[in-house]
Amino acid sequence: MSIAFWIQSQTIVVNEFLASNNADINDNYGEFEDWIEIYNPSSTPYNIGGLFFTDNLSVPQKYQIPVGNDSTIIPAGGYLVLFADNDTEQGVLHLDFKLSTGGEQIGIFDGLGNPIDTLTYPPQNTDVSYGRSPDGSGNWVYFAQTTPGASNLVNYLTPSIVLYNFPHTSGSNLVVDIMANISWTVTNPVSWLSVSPMSGSNNGQITISVTEANPDNTSRTGVVTLSGTLVNDQEITLVQFGLPDFPNIVINEIMADNTMTAADNHGEFEDWIEIYNQGTSPVNIGNLYVTDNLSDPTKYQIPNTYPDSTTIPPGGFLLLWADNDPEQGVLHLEFGLNNAGEQVGIFYSQFSPIDTFSYGQQQVDTSYGRAWDGASTWMLFSEPTPGYTNAMSISEVAKHAIKCYPNPCSDRLWFDSGNPGISEVWLFSSEGKAEIQKSIYGEKNSLDIGFLPSGLYFLKLITDDGVYFQKIMKNKK
């Protein structure tokens, strides 16, 4: 681990910061925001009004602290906390940028663009700060026991991870780095977890292993505690998900380049994702996760605040707007779709995908969806059907219907393609499984379907002038 820093003698420094604040301290608006603590080691007060702060050292004068306010004065030997929340309208101590948990830069510059203090920091963890120990030194460490506006800890004990989720199965392992300058011990009273080693001195590692599968459909929580002299105990909270109870839903149709097809509740033409409930019970998708990057399965969680808006009736459809405008409602996601091709997924948890797929280059105002609702075959629709059955689009693109008889059928199905050329015929189950595939010649042909169970099927015929579909009802033989 390395960190670059530059300190001017007897001046202010970035002393501690938190780049992922979930439950640490809140600002003057009651919000949990990223924060940066500035330390004045000198014997005289220091006013930061007029200085520039940045999260990109190549843009040193990104944001200037307002002048003429006593709130920007740091007393001799004192501290001042700034909130990196991109909410400058909330006060002079609020910056116009946020901090990245993946690692980036922080800089303080004077009015001429000269650096006062700069640093480049590594990846961060939720509610774990990163700071100097002792104050103003060049020794940077993680603090699970944060001290915004006060002196940093001289004795420290911090796990690299304070919260982690495990799948419901056994056998998962988690390696936790321990940052410490003292001796420490581990307490682990959880029957389904094991920890090794149980003690150490100074920096080290522990491995936490899941020894039992969770037999219930609800999550369970265990706590591993780190203890040492002259420091507070530090807890690592481990959650093991329950057996997933997957709703019977699928991603049914998407549009990644919508210019005039369907407008959202704000009258805007945005990308959209259609979810289809192919089950026999209503499904509330609130609390499920939607993503456009399968390596980040929990990218966006659908709110559960308005179940009347997020519940899909049996056989029903629901549109999610991929417009990066979640403030416009519970059906608006915080990402858009790439018309050059990417991924889409809906997840029960980070370990439990419900439905995922990848798509290629898309066309303007043309949707990409399942050939019929819930099928495994995907196709482009020049007549999209957002919020409605995809079968409507199939009937629009067909130049003529396939003549099938008898329909319903119990034994041999006859059909007339109206095309004397060589064709290909497929018969799919309602779940999208290909039951029959063969090449045919001539206008009139037949298929023996007597061996198939009764139910709904789809006949797909590929000819030299189009692709056609027809629903088939199979009766008992």
Report yes or no: 33 and 85 within 8 Å, Cβ to Cβ.
yes
Q: Provide mean pLDDT across the span 191-219.
A: 95
Cis status, amide bond into 408, omega within 30 of 0: yes
Report yes or no: 206 and 176 within 8 Å, Cβ to Cβ.
yes
Confidence of residue 457 (pLDDT cuts 50, 70, 90): confident
Confidence of residue 3 (pLDDT cuts 50, 70, 90): very low
pLDDT at res. 51 = 96
pLDDT at 277 over 50: yes
Report yes or no: 18 and 146 within 8 Å, Cβ to Cβ.
yes
Contacts of 376 (CB under 8 A, 6+ apart): 370, 428, 431, 432, 433
d(Cα 77, Cα 136) in Å, to the nearest integer? Answer: 10
Among residues 186, 194, 145, the alpha carbon closest in space to that of 166 is found at 194
Instruction: Write down the mean pLDDT value for the chain.
Output: 89
Helices and strands, number each (H, E), in the chain: 2, 40
d(Cα 54, Cα 97) in Å, to the nearest integer? Answer: 8
d(Cα 315, Cα 387) in Å, to the nearest integer? Answer: 11
How does strand 105-109 pair with strand 52-54?
antiparallel
Contacts of 406 (CB under 8 A, 6+ apart): 413, 414
The backbone torsions φ and ψ at residue 403, rounded to the nearest 5 degrees and listed phi first, read -85, 110
pLDDT at 314 over 90: no
pLDDT at res. 400 = 44
Among residues 242, 195, 237, the alpha carbon closest in space to that of 220 is found at 242
Q: Which has more pLDDT, 33 or 428? A: 33
CB-CB neighbours of 74 under 10 Å? 17
Contacts of 232 (CB under 8 A, 6+ apart): 145
d(Cα 251, Cα 330) in Å, to the nearest integer? Answer: 18
Q: What letter represents residue 2's amino acid?
A: S
- Please give the structure tokens belonging to residue 469: 């579909």
pLDDT at 160 over 50: yes
Superfamily of domain 157-240 in the CATH hierarchy = Immunoglobulins (2.60.40.10)
pLDDT at res. 86 = 94
Lowest mean pLDDT segment, chosen from 13-17, 247-251, 438-442:
438-442
**CATH 2.60.40.3080 domain position(s) in the chain:** 399-474
pLDDT at res. 39 = 98
Q: Which has more pLDDT, 253 or 443? A: 253
Burial class of residue 419 (count of CB atoms within 10 Å of its CB; 0-12, 13-18, 19+): middle
Q: Provide mean pLDDT across the span 61-87.
A: 95
d(Cα 95, Cα 64) in Å, to the nearest integer? Answer: 9
Among residues 245, 255, 248, the alpha carbon closest in space to that of 320 is found at 255
pTM over 0.75: no
CB-CB neighbours of 429 under 10 Å? 17
d(Cα 246, Cα 454) in Å, to the nearest integer? Answer: 26
- Please give the structure tokens belonging to residue 35: 């924060």
pLDDT at res. 466 = 61
Q: Give pLDDT tens digits for 394-450.
A: 444 343 456 788 988 999 998 876 665 657 888 877 655 778 888 877 767 889 999
For residue 426, the cross-strand partners are 437, 460
**CATH 2.60.40.10 domain position(s) in the chain:** 157-240
Radius of gyration of the chain (CA): 30
The CATH classification number of 399-474 equals 2.60.40.3080
Fold category of 249-394 in CATH: Immunoglobulin-like (2.60.40)
Fold category of 4-143 in CATH: Immunoglobulin-like (2.60.40)
How does strand 79-84 pair with strand 94-95?
parallel
Q: Which has more pLDDT, 56 or 467? A: 56
Q: Give pLDDT tens digits for 90-134.
A: 999 999 999 999 899 999 999 888 999 999 999 998 899 999 999
H-state helical runs in 53-152 = none
pLDDT at 81 over 50: yes
Q: How far is residue 279 from each of residues 51, 102, 197, 458, measured CA to CA in Å?
A: 60, 40, 48, 19
Q: Provide mean pLDDT across the span 7-11.
A: 51
Among residues 260, 256, 278, the alpha carbon closest in space to that of 268 is found at 260
How far does Cα 197 stand from its chain's mean position?
33
How does strand 234-240 pair with strand 163-166?
parallel
* Residue indicated by tokens 């009764």: 454
d(Cα 7, Cα 11) in Å, to the nearest integer? Answer: 8
What is the torsional sign of CA 315, 318, 319, 322?
negative
